[in-house]
C-alpha cells in the first residue's frame, strides 16, 4: 500500500529523475568556470535570466510545441547564471556564516554535484527507515529514528547550500550542475513531505496527499515565477530556510512526545495537532502560491511593455498572461487524475 502511494507521488517528479543520470556525467569537476558574484538565497549554482541582452528580463522563447527549448536559447544557456535574493534573517545571521566556514573543510577536488547527492542521501535514508517502521504512514518509530530525521533535514539544507559555494570556490559551476541541484530539490519535495506525513501520523489518507500537493504545487509555482522573472526571490520567512528548520524541529520533538500525541484531539478544540499543522501549512502554501502567481502576472506585463520591439513572435506568445496560466494545466491535470485514482482505486489505496 505504501509503495503504491509513493509511486503516485513520484510520478510528478519523474522528469527530474533524468537529472540524476546527468549527475553521473558531472561527478568530476568540469573545467568551465563561473563568475564570483552570487546571492545567498538557496546557494545553488548561479542562475540569471539567459537574455541579459533583453533588458535583463528572462528570454521567454520556450515554444509550446516542438523543441523544448529554441536554438537561440540553447546557445545562451552556456551563459546562464544564478540571480536571486534571500531575505531570511536566520540565513543571514546564523546559518550562512556557518556554511561559509564549513565549505572550507571540503577538499578542492570534491565535485559540487557529489555534495548535492550526499545531501539528498541523508533524507533518502530517513525515507527507508520510516518505511521500515511505519509502512502505512502511521504508527510509532523509535525515538532515534525521529532524531535522525531531523538531523537529516538540517544536513540536507546545509549541503544544498554548500554545493554552490564549492562550485564558486573551485570554479566548477555550470547550468548542468544547477539541473542536478534543482532536480534533487524536486525529489526531496516528495521525499520529505512523505517523511513528515509519517512523523505526524497522517496515515494513508487524503491528508497526506494534501500535504504533498501543497508542497509540490508551491515548488512548481516558485520555479515558474523564476522562469518569468529571471530571479529566485525568497522572503524573510521561506520554505528553504525556516520551513526546513521547522520540519527538523517537528521530527526531533516527536522523539520526546508521547506515542499518539499527534492524533489525540486537543482539549477544547476537538482537532488533533496533526490536522492543525496541516491546515496551517496549507494556508501558508496557498498564500505563497498566490504571491507567485501575482509575480508571474506582473512579469508578463513588464516583459511585453519593455521588449515590444525586440521580442520574437514566440517570445510575445510565451509572455502572454493566458499562456503563462496554461503552464499550470499539466500540474492540475495530473493532480486531478491522481486524486480520482486514489479515491476510487479498486485496491483502496486510502483509508480515510
Who contacts 135 (Cβ-Cβ below 8 Å, separation ≥6)? 1, 2
Dihedral, CA of residue 256, residue 260, residue 263 and residue 266, to nearest 10: -70
**CA 231 to CA 213: how far, in whole Å?**
24
Between CA 138 and CA 147, with CA 142 as vertex, the angle to 5 degrees is: 100
Q: Cβ-count burial of 277 within 10 angstroms (0-12 exposed, 13-18 middle, 19+ buried)?
A: middle
Answer yes or no: are the C-beta atoms of 327 and 319 closer than 8 Å.
no
Which residues neighbour 266 within 8 Å (Cβ) at sequence distance 6 or greater? 272, 273, 276
* Tally of helices (H runs) and strands (E runs) in the chain: 14, 2
Return the active site residues: 182
Question: With left for phi above 0 and alpha for psi between -120 and 50, is residue 32 left, alpha or beta?
Answer: beta
Largest CA distance in the chain: 65
Return the C-alpha cell found at 108. Answer: 578542492
* Residue positions counted in the chain: 352
Amino acid at each position: 500500500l505504501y509503495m503504491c502511494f509513493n509511486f503516485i507521488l513520484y510520478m510528478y517528479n519523474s522528469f527530474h529523475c533524468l537529472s540524476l543520470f546527468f549527475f553521473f556525467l558531472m561527478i568530476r569537476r568540469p573545467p568551465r568556470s563561473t563568475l564570483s558574484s552570487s546571492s545567498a538565497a538557496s546557494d545553488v549554482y548561479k542562475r540569471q535570466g539567459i537574455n541579459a541582452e533583453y533588458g535583463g528580463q528572462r528570454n521567454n522563447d520556450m515554444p509550446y510545441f516542438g523543441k523544448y527549448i529554441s536554438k537561440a536559447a540553447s546557445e545562451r544557456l552556456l551563459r546562464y547564471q544564478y540571480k536571486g535574493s534571500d531575505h531570511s534573517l536566520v540565513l543571514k545571521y546564523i546559518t550562512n556564516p556557518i556554511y561559509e566556514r564549513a565549505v572550507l573543510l571540503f577538499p578542492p577536488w570534491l565535485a559540487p554535484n557529489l555534495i548535492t547527492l550526499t545531501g539528498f542521501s541523508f533524507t533518502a535514508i530517513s525515507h527507508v527507515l520510516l518505511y521500515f517502521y511505519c509502512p502505512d504512514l502511521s504508527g510509532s518509530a523509535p525515538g532515534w529514528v525521529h532524531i535522525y530525521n531531523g538531523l537529516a533535514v538540517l544536513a540536507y539544507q546545509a549541503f544544498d547550500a554548500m554545493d554552490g559555494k564549492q562550485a564558486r570556490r573551485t570554479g566548477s559551476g555550470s547550468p548542468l550542475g544547477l539541473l542536478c541541484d534543482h532536480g534533487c530539490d524536486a525529489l526531496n519535495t516528495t521525499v520529505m513531505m512523505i517523511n513528515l506525513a509519517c512523523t505526524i501520523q497522517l496515515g494513508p489518507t487524503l491528508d497526506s496527499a494534501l500535504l504533498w500537493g501543497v508542497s509540490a504545487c508551491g515548488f512548481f509555482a516558485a520555479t515558474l515565477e523564476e522562469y518569468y522573472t529571471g530571479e529566485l526571490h525568497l522572503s524573510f520567512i521561506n520554505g528553504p530556510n525556516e520551513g526546513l528548520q521547522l520540519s527538523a524541529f517537528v521530527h526531533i520533538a516527536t522523539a520526546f512526545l508521547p506515542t499518539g500525541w499527534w492524533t489525540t484531539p486537543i482539549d477544547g478544540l476537538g482537532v488533533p495537532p496533526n490536522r492543525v499543522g496541516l491546515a496551517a501549512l496549507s494556508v501558508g502554501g496557498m498564500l505563497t502560491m498566490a504571491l507567485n502567481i501575482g509575480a508571474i502576472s506582473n512579469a508578463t506585463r513588464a516583459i511585453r511593455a519593455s521588449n515590444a520591439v525586440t521580442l520574437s513572435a514566440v517570445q510575445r506568445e510565451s509572455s502572454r498572461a493566458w499562456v503563462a496560466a496554461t503552464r499550470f494545466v499539466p500540474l492540475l491535470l495530473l493532480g486531478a487524475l491522481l486524486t480520482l485514482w486514489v479515491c476510487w482505486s479498486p485496491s483502496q489505496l486510502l483509508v480515510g
